[in-house]
Every structure is written in structure tokens, then in C-alpha cells.
Structure 1
Amino acid sequence: MPPTDTHSHSHGSFLNRISIRRNQVISMDVNHDQELEELDLFQKHVTDRFMHLLPLIPITENDQSTQFEEETVMLLSIEWFRKLLDVYLCCESEFKAVLIIGRESSHFTKPPLDKLLPDHLDRTVKALDVCNAVTHGIELIRHWQRLAQIAVDALQQRPFVNQGHVRRAKRALNTLLTSMAVDDHKENSVNYVGKSAERMWSIGRRGGAGGGPPPSPVVNHNRRISASRSFSSCFSKSWSAAKQIQAMSTNLVAPRGGEPTGLALPVYIMSSVLVLVMWALVAAVPCQERAGLGAHFQLPRHLAWAVPMIGLQEKIGEEWKKKEKRGTAGLLAEIQGMEKVAQNLVDFADGFEFPMGTEKADEVAAQVAELAEICRKMEVGLGPLQLQVRELFHRMVRSRAEVLDLMDQVGKIATSVIY
């Protein structure tokens, strides 16, 4: 056997180890740089998406003003909320990609993610209840729309409106306003649909349309949904939408620097987006017990992605303060418009004399046309909005299950997570 060059062999082995280690360090640097780039992009996209939701200031120079105003969506309108839910769904998809794709599941068991991630998953469970409440609230709004449409049909009679038409319109509008005025503390959207709405359905539409309640928005129970939660679930009398939002914002604190995985910030951002979206929906749509909702959670003003969200918080908070003074049913722009016009038409009906003068007829026709346009917007927008809330519900269920599966892989599921 030839003599072995021990020195040469060990030297070569050492160089190989150095080479491997260098490659590992380079790989770690590349992965770290890629991770930072992904996090920066996520924050930038969140900022851009919420900037587009802020009310725009019309430009008054040259011919730009008209075009600018045409592109502006009214804050808190049905169309605006559809854009808000689109923003959430886009942010959620990107967040899941940043969190899961190419990520070692062991990261989820390291501080601070071992605490932050279960907290975020717990918030999604609470958000499922909020989605249920909002869905029932949208059903109530659709019944309000049907009542308003009865009044519109009665007051658009040609060639003239008589006493019978006015009585029919007044009856429908009084039922509408009475339902809107029910105190949040005493009633909830389920009771509206189950009891108060029965009186609305009994009025019906001409020609028999709207003679019965619409089908309950039930999800497919053949699919396993976390804790059997579904859109058909009812709430106990003690359930409070405001307290649910408050519970979601508990422990929602910006992470400190120096955490090892780099994922604490996107988890915090996504939790903030979730709470803001649920808070805005509850403020706009009739839900059970909303007292104290105006006290919204605080976001850090020094972070760029939070600036447009804070702007929305402040504007919606201002509207909520007005609501509490006026006692309106919700911040949805179409609800506020419907309530105002309905009251004006009831006042007209109280003092109605036949025949009407030309000036009075024109004034009433303008009010009826405004109410008809609100009904049209509701007819077109509420169905798609309700479908988006369903999609939001199912997306949260699926995403939560995917994260739990990853945590299962390392055999460490946080006991604080609710199933």
C-alpha cells in the first residue's frame, strides 16, 4: 500500500469544509436579502393599497377636475367597501406568501412568532363572528331597500299621485324608519331578520315580488369549517360587535427590533389590517351592540404603511361621532342617504293635499328620484358585497388551517389557539 499524504489529505478536507461553509454563508446572505426585499415590498403594497382608499381631493386646475371627480369613490359607500375588501384579500394573499412560501416551519416556534402567530390566528376566529354579524346586517339593509322601493313605486305613479299612493308610501317608509331607529343595545341583526323583518316581508311588492324572506346565507355544511362556524349561526344576547373588535385589538402591539425570524412585522401588519377592516364593516353595517365602537385601536404613526390606515381611522371615527349624535343606523353612505330622504318624504306625506302644486310636485319628484337611485345602488351592490364577505370568511378559514398544518409539522401547536 502506498504511503498516505496525511497532511495533504487533511489540508484538502479543511479547504472543502471552508468552501462549503462559505457557500452556506453566501446562501444565507442571499436568502436574508430576499427576505428583506419581500418584507419591504409587502409594506409598500399595503401602503399603496390603502392610499387608494383615502378620499381624494379634487383638482381644480384646467380640465383635470371633472375627470378626477369621476374616478373618486365616495368614502363608506357600497362601492368603497367592495374596494376595501379587495384590498384585504390582496394583502392576505401576499402576507401568506411572505409567511409560508420557502419558510422552515421551525421559524413558527421561535420567539416572538410562537406568541404573535397564535394571537393572529385567534383574531381570525373572532373575525369569523364579525363576518357572520355583517352578513346578517347586509340582509337587513336589503329589506330596507325593498321597503324604500315600495315607496318609490307608489310615488312614481303617473299621471298623478293620489291619496292612496301616498298612504302606501308612508306606511312603508314609517316601517323603514322604525326599523332603522331600533337601539343597538336592545336588538340585533338576527332579531331584525327573524322578527321585525316579518312585518317588512308581509308588506310585499306589487305583483307578489318579495312576498317571503330570502334564503338564509348558509355555507355548505358538508365542508369542515373551524368550530362549525357558519353564516347561519346566531348570536347570544350578550354578544357585542364592539367588544369583539376590542378583543381583536388586545395585545396588538408593534414588534420591537432584533427578533430573529424577521416575520414579526408582517404578522403585526396583517393583524392591523384585519382589525381595521372588521372595525369599518361593523361601523357601517347594522350589527348587534356597537356602543363604544368609536374608540379605535392605535397604530404607530412613524411607520409609513400605517399612515393611510390612520387617515381612514380618523375619517371614519369622525363619521361615527356624528352617527352617535344623530342616532343613525350605520355609516354606510347609502343608509344615511336613504334615512334622510325617507324622513323628508314622510314629512311630505303628513302634509299631503290633493292635487299638488307644480312646485311641490317637482320637489317630491326630485326626492323620489334620489331614493330610487339609492335603491338601485343597493340592488346592484349589496349582493356582490355579501359574496365578498363570504369569500373573506372562507379565506380566513383556509389560511388559518394552512398555518396550523405547518405548526403541526414540528409537533408544536400553541395551546392558546382556539379551534
Structure 2
Amino acid sequence: MPATTDGQGSFLNRISIRRNQVVAMENHDQELEDLELFQKHVADRFSYIYSTSSAVASTTASNGTDPSSAASDSPSAALESFTPPLLSISWFRNLLDTYLCCEAEFKAVLVMGRDPTQFTKTPLDKLIPDLLDRSVKALDICNAVTHGIELVRHWQKLAEIAVTALQQNPIGEGQVRRAKKALTALLSSMVLDDKENLNTSNHGKSTERTWSFGRRGGGGSVNSNKDRSTGNFRSLSSSVAKQWSAAKQIQAMSSNLAAPRGGESTGLAMPVYIMSTVLVFVMWALVAAIPCQERTGLLTHFVVPKQSGWAQPMIGLQEKIGEEWKKKEKKGNSGLLEELQKMEKVSQSLVDFADSFQFPLEEEKSAEVAMQVEELAEICRKMEEGLMPLQQQVREVFHRIVRSRAEVLDLLDQVGKLSTPVPY
């Protein structure tokens, strides 16, 4: 009988182990499915942004027209109405929506129902602190971009002054002088050095940029909670340092961004890497388009991995933005936002007109100026409609990053409590 009992116990142990193995295999299969689905959704979302941007670009190149002003009877008019031009305000709103969708799905894959002890094992014990640090730097960039949008809104107001003056009929010397003064101030501000410009905006008053975290407080240890106070993040309000560089911030975010290899490519390391790449790309694009302090070398500070299928549309977008940067040779300053590029071009043309203005204005010249003024007015309308929602989206991205970071830190706190010896 004892032998029989021992045999039965051994058999039951084997059954229990087998059942645990089956459950583990099923969980592993589900995790693999979730990871594949996440990669597919990232690829699909960025493929849509890339394909629509390409459609607008090809249409514009073929007929030499602005997609937003295409005739309603054009075969591509319906498509164009849903495909904002690359680097326009509407395009960035789509990009930020894409980021928020990817981030929500990433958090579901990483956090929901997750055993927090996984974060203390290789490779997550290194990747999670890097992710937390990267998120801190992204928050600084969100603040810088929000500040830059305020500067763009100031330029919009200057352009509106010129529009109001030049829409008078007939146009007199007083209206021309007023328009020229506003447009000259606008153009001068656009070509200022980034540091000088962003510290003297808002009608010449010194402004401050609020940093949301202490410097280098990004999560050096997986058990660290020094960045939090009663569940919220501390804020440090200080003037932006003169040596702060948006380009170097991007470089710091991407410097330790390495694709998982071997077995790590099928685990949680992959979604962490994908989401980190998405985050850096979105911040990089915002810095390229919106006035931000010091962007020298921006094109060389972030390279999207070419070996991944999900990254191909992102690479295409990066190449397009890089071409625009080189073509405009902005080296920072006003940025690549499409509305800003058009505003600068039309404003310079109207200043040239003001320099050679003679009263009374010839009918042909009057019609030409009226078209340019209407174009500038349309740009101002797009800015009036889009800049505030864009700024709100940047803030939403900011707060989403804060909340997700807090959730990860909560999980790490659980790990710390589990690993703390219980006193008897």
C-alpha cells in the first residue's frame, strides 16, 4: 500500500506540472498573438499616414496646385479632402492621434494583467528604466513644442494685422505702412536665432518653460519612486537653460534605443522598443516643424531601424521630412510647418510690394495683391482653426505619458513590496 500511495502522489504531481505547462503555453501563445497584433496595428496606422501624404504630394506635383484648394469636381478632390499635406497642422493632428492609439494599445500589452515580477528580469530590468527616462525627455519636448506653438500664434496675429490693413479698398499709404510694419516684425522674428526668439516672444516679454521633472530623474532604478509625490509628479518651474537643445534631447532619447535580438525579439522587449521608436519619431517630427530651441544636426540625431517591417512607413516619412529640411535649409528657426512656410513666402512678397508701393495702385497690381492677401488670410484661418486643437493634443500626449509612467511605477512598487522581507 505505501508503494501504491507513493506512486499515486507521483502521478498527481506529474499531472499538476503538465497542466501548469499547458496553461503557460496557452498564455505564451496569447502573448505572441498580442505582440504580433500590436506590430500590425503600428504598421497599419503609419502606412495610412505615409500613403495619404504621398497621395497629396504626387497630386500637388502633377498639377502644381495646393491640395486644400482643389476643385470639387476633380477626381482626386474627395481623397484630398481627407489627406492633409505633409507637415501641415492637420497632418500633425493625425500623427498625434496615431501616437495616442498606439500608446493605449502598448499600455494594454505591457501593463494590463501583467505579473510585475517580469519587470525585474532580463531584459525588462534594463528596458523599463530606459523607457521611464525616455518619457521624461519627451515631456520636456512637449513643453518646448507647446511654447513654440504660442510663438506661431503670435506670428498669426501679426499676419492678421497685415491682412486687415491690405483688405481696405482702396489701399492707401497708411494701410501699406501698417501692413509692412507687421510683416517685417513677423519675418524678423522668423529668422531670429532660436534661443533669442523663444526667449523674447510674447511681445518681447521673457517667458518661462516649465520642466515637469527634475533633471535626469527618469527612473535609474526599477524600484525608484523619487519622481513621485503622493501619486503625482513634482514640477520644477525654471527658465529654459541657454544650453538646452531640442536636437540633443532627441539624440539622448534615441542613444540607447537598440532593437531586441534573438529570443528577446519575441517577448515584451519588442513592444517596448517599438513604442520607444514611435515616441522618438513623433517628438522628432514635432521639433522639426514647430519652433524649438536649437535644432542643429536634427537630421543626424535619430535613425529609424530599417530591418523591421513595421518601421518601413516611418522610414518613408522620415525621408520626406528630411528632404523638406534640406530643401528649405531652415537649420531651425521657423520650422517646417507647412502653414509657416507659406506664410513666410507670402509675407515676403507683400513686403516687397510695400517697398515699391505707389498711390494710386494699378488695377493689375491691385488684383495680384488681393490674391496674395486672400492667401495669407486663408493661412491665418487654418491657424486659427488648428493651432489651439493641436496645442491641446500636445498637452493630451503630455498627460497620457505622465499617467502611463505612473502606472508602470506602481507596478514596480508592487515588485518592491513583494521582495521586501516580512518581519516576524
Pick the TM interval, shorter chain: 0.7 to 0.9
Q: In the alignment, does 2:181 pair up with 1:171?
A: yes
1:113 aligned onto 2:124: yes
Partner of 1:226: 233
Q: How many angstroms does 1:218 deviate by?
A: 11
How much does 1:223 deviate?
Answer: 9.2
Post-superposition offset of 1:14: 2.5
Cα distance in structure 2, aligned partners of 1:249 and 1:316:
18
| TM-score with structure 1 setting the length | 0.86
Query: Does residue 1:84 correspond to 2:95, yes or no?
Result: yes
State the match for 1:36 in structure 2.
32
Aligned to 1:132: 143
Query: What letter is aligned with 1:173?
Result: L
1:187 is matched with: 196
Deviations 1:300-334 (A, max 9, x none): 22211110111111111111112326876110000
Distance 1:342 1:63, change over 3 A: closer
* 1:257 equivalent in structure 2: 262
Aligned residue number for residue 209 of structure 1: none
Q: Distance in 2 between matches of 1:223 and 1:153?
A: 51
Partner of 2:104: 93
- Do the aligned partners of 1:50 and 1:309 also contact (CA within 8 Å) in 2? yes
Question: Which segments of 5 or more consecutive residues in structure 1 lack a partner in the other structure?
Answer: 199-212, 414-419
2-structure distance, mates of 1:114, 1:313: 31
Using the alignment, how far apart are the partners of 1:300 and 1:111 within structure 2? 22
* Displacement of 1:19: 2.0
Counterpart CA distance in 2 for 1:218 and 1:288 is: 14
Q: Deviations over 1:200-239 (max 9, x none)?
A: xxxxxxxxxxxxx9x99999xx99753415xx65311111
SS of residue in 2 equivalent to 1:196: coil
2:293 to 288, 291, 307: 288
Distance in 2 between the 1:218 and 1:381 partners? 25
Whole-angstrom CA distance in 2 between matches of 1:364 and 1:31 = 68
Q: Does 1:367 align with 2:376?
A: no
Does residue 330 of structure 2 align to residue 334 of structure 1?
A: no
Question: Is the contact made by 2:134 and 2:253 (CA closer than 8 Å) also made in structure 1?
Answer: yes
Match of 1:203 in 2: none
- Rounded to whole Å, the distance in 2 between the matches of 1:43 and 1:326 is 34
Deviation at 1:298, TM superposition (A): 2.1
Tell me whether 1:196 sits opposite 2:201 in the alignment.
Answer: no
**Partner residue, 1:380:** 385
Matched-pair contact (CA < 8 Å) for 2:247–2:295 = yes
Distance 2:355 2:272 in 1: 56
Partner of 1:205: none
Matches within 5 A, 1:239-258: 239-258=244-263
**Per-residue deviation at 1:43?**
0.3
Aligned-pair distance for 1:287? Answer: 0.8
Q: SS in structure 2 opposite 1:121?
A: helix
Measure, in 2, the Cα distance between the counterparts of 1:326 and 1:161: 37
Q: What pairs with 1:11-26 in structure 2 (closer than 5 Å)?
A: 11-26=7-22
Q: Which amino acid aligns with 1:257?
A: G
Residue 70, structure 1, aligned to residue 81, structure 2 = yes
Structure 1 counterpart of 2:5: 9
CA shift digits 1:359-379 (9 cap, x unpaired): 111100110000000000000
Q: Deviations over 1:115-153 (max 9, x none)?
A: 111111101101111111111100000010000000001
Distance in 1 between residues matched to 2:400 and 2:9, nearest whole Å: 52
The 8 Å contact of residues 132 and 233 in structure 1, kept in 2 or not, is answered as: no
Change (3 A) 1:290 1:326: closer
User: Greater relative contact order: 1 or 2 (C-alpha under 8 angstroms, separation 6 or more)?
Assistant: 1
Supply the distance in 1 between the matched residues of 2:125 and 2:235 (Cα, whole angstroms): 26
TM-score (norm 2): 0.85
Deviates more, 1:370-379 or 1:315-324: 315-324
* Equivalent of residue 354 in structure 1, options 359, 368, 373: 359
Aligned partner of residue 258 in structure 1, secondary structure: helix
Shift of 1:406: 0.6
Q: Which of 307, 320, 326 is the aligned partner of 1:321?
A: 326
Alignment correspondent of 2:114: 103
The letter of the residue matching 1:167 is: R
Percent pairwise identity = 62
Contact 1:143 1:197 in 2 (8 A): no
CA contact (8 A) 1:179 1:196 kept: no
Compared with structure 1, are the counterparts of its residues 260 and 104 closer, same or farther at alpha carbon in structure 2 (3 Å cutoff)?
Answer: farther
Q: Which amino acid letter does the alignment assign opposite residue 113 of structure 1? A: L
Gap regions ≥5 residues in structure 2: 60-72, 213-228, 419-424
Q: Is the 8 A contact 1:189 1:288 kept in 2?
A: yes
The 2-side partners of 1:63 and 1:233 are apart by: 52
Contact 2:143–2:210 at 8 Å: present in 1 too? no
The answer as to 2:55 corresponding to 1:57 is yes
**Which residue pairs with 1:208 in the alignment?**
none
Q: Do structure 1's residue 148 and structure 2's residue 123 form an aligned pair?
A: no
